[in-house]
A and B are shown apart, each in its own frame.
Chain A
Amino acid sequence: MSSYRNNAERVVVTGLGAVTPVGEDAAATWAALLAGKSGVRKLTESWAAELPVRIAARAMTDPATMFPAFQLRHMDRSGQFALLAARQAWQDAGSPRVDPERLGVSMATGIGGVASVLNAQETMAAKGWQRLSPFIVPMLMPNGAAALIGIELGARAGVHTAVSACASSAEAIGYGMEMIRSGRADVVVAGGTEAVILPEAIGGFAVMRALSCRNDNPERASRPFDKARDGFVLGEGAGAIVLESAGHAAKRAANVRAAAAGVGYSADSYDVAMPAPDGIGAAMAIRRALADAEITPADVVHINAHATSTPSGDTAEALAISRALGDAARGIVVSATKSMTGHLLGSAGVIASIAAMYALRDSVAPPTINLEDPDDEIIAAGIRIAPGQLELRSRPAKRAALCNSFGFGGHNVTLVFTTA
């Protein structure tokens, strides 16, 4: 199909790491997702009382307990999550021996070190600029997390940061795949991180009317595809995966989780917050991802949807899936794991990718909790959503799972993972 691929390296995934609202690592996250556990809780901080939204999905691990004090002071919370997830993924991959010049990092964030910016503002006002931390710039810069990982692992092929709101970490995985395909690297640690459960971020999303206000029932607040959905729930945490050329992985007999078979990008160029009508932009990303992976809709058995529980976003995505996959969509099981994790913005795509790879391995789709009364338009789109666990088709032999990830600004990314 695409001739440039003829000599390109095939990319596989050999390590998974995650610090999420439902698990302290990737395996625990998957177990919690399968069990339908919600990570959404009431916010107990005093500042929450002032806000219309007083729920969020905090990570299970408090990173402040995971590093010595002097290191904590040098890293934004988003960098701390990123480093923890990257260490897990690296260890899960068997801490591969890689030529440093062939090792890369592609670690995204949607927003970056905004908590550090706000702290710095307080320090400036109270004590003056001289008392700012000399680490403030590395802490607030969006590439700060990628740099921390790159320095720790000694990655010299290139250290990169994609920033495309909630599509960021899917874009980062795509970029990592391209680093390997193009021959720039043998191994790339890819993923994303986010840590913005802060009054300014919650206020900002709330004023866009993007968040669920179901404060009295946190575990029921994130309800993708349900008629009564009223917005997303902000989550925090990070995910990282180790991408590796198939040749490099085979040489060291690595445990291959899945093949990272394809990536499709598109841009709506329509509105900064609303999806293009009928999901035409998202459908384009899905089609391009299938073409890139050289598969057909009949090969797809599962989709981990972007589905954040916003009224317009979920409908547009259902239409996009239907538009891109046609009749084959009826044989595909769609899950919306944000019903449990909340929306981790710049790490949403990697967490969804990890879930999609586990789903392929176990041949089961995780539940979409709180889907009690599916939206009529979504039913009409003809997609099949798993309200509880659903077994996946065992055919074809090489099966594909998609991960959709869309971001404010009109960024659309679809990733394709296949059984290796």
Chain B
Amino acid sequence: MTEQEILSRLAKIVEEFTGIPASRVTGEANIAEDLQISSLSMVEIIVAAEDEFQITVPDAALKDLGTFEDVVSYIYRARRQAAGRSGQDDSAAEVAAT
């Protein structure tokens, strides 16, 4: 899955949990300041993203996620690491293709 695909799926999650149109969820948008997403809504979004992208995001990582670009690249790296560990063919192939 490409970073662009991750952003697009993430934007749909953000829309579902906050009502903010997916089109406004851009990589550079600041989560708290530009989009006014509360910390509690962000927890909902991260939990939904964990399910959607089959990853886990430790609480300690949350404080470094200021923009959706940060979130996308975190998810991208987490998926790649997970694929590397498990050696799953599908994910590995996907990562290789990107």
Contact = CB atoms under 8 A, between A and B. Distances in A.
Please determine whether chains A and B interact with each other in the same assembly. Answer: yes
Given A70-B16, A70-B17, A135 B40 contact: yes
Nearest to A70: B19
Contact of B44 (A71, A134, A138): A134
A396 interface: no
Contacts of B73: none
Interface in B21-45: 40-41, 43-44
A71 B40 contact: no
Query: Counting chain B CB atoms within 10 Å of each CB, which of A69, A70, A73, A74 scores highest?
Result: A70
A130 interface: yes
Interface residues of B, dominant DSSP: helix
Interface string A118-132: 000000000000110
B67 interface: no
Contacts of B93: none
A71 B43 contact: no
A381 to B, nearest CB: 53
B65 interface: no
A70 B19 CA distance: 6
B19 A71 contact: yes
Interface residues of B, number: 9
A185 to B, nearest CB: 27
Interface string B43-86: 11001000000000000000000000000000000000000000
A135 B19 CA distance: 16
A307 to B, nearest CB: 42
A398 B12 CA distance: 60
A130 B16 contact: no
A130 B57 CA distance: 12
B14 to A, nearest CB: 10
Interface string A133-175: 1110010000000000000000000000000000000000000
A73 B17 CA distance: 9
Contacts of A138: 40
A191 B17 CA distance: 30
A66 to B, nearest CB: 14
Nearest to A138: B40
B47 A131 contact: yes
B40 A130 contact: no
Nearest to A131: B47
Interface of B: 16-19, 40-41, 43-44, 47
Given A69-B16, A70-B18, A138-B40, 16 more contacts: A68-B19, A70-B16, A70-B17, A70-B19, A71-B19, A73-B17, A74-B40, A130-B47, A131-B47, A133-B44, A134-B40, A134-B41, A134-B43, A134-B44, A135-B40, A135-B44
The 7 closest A-B pairs by CB, nearest first: A134-B43, A134-B40, A70-B19, A68-B19, A70-B17, A135-B40, A70-B18
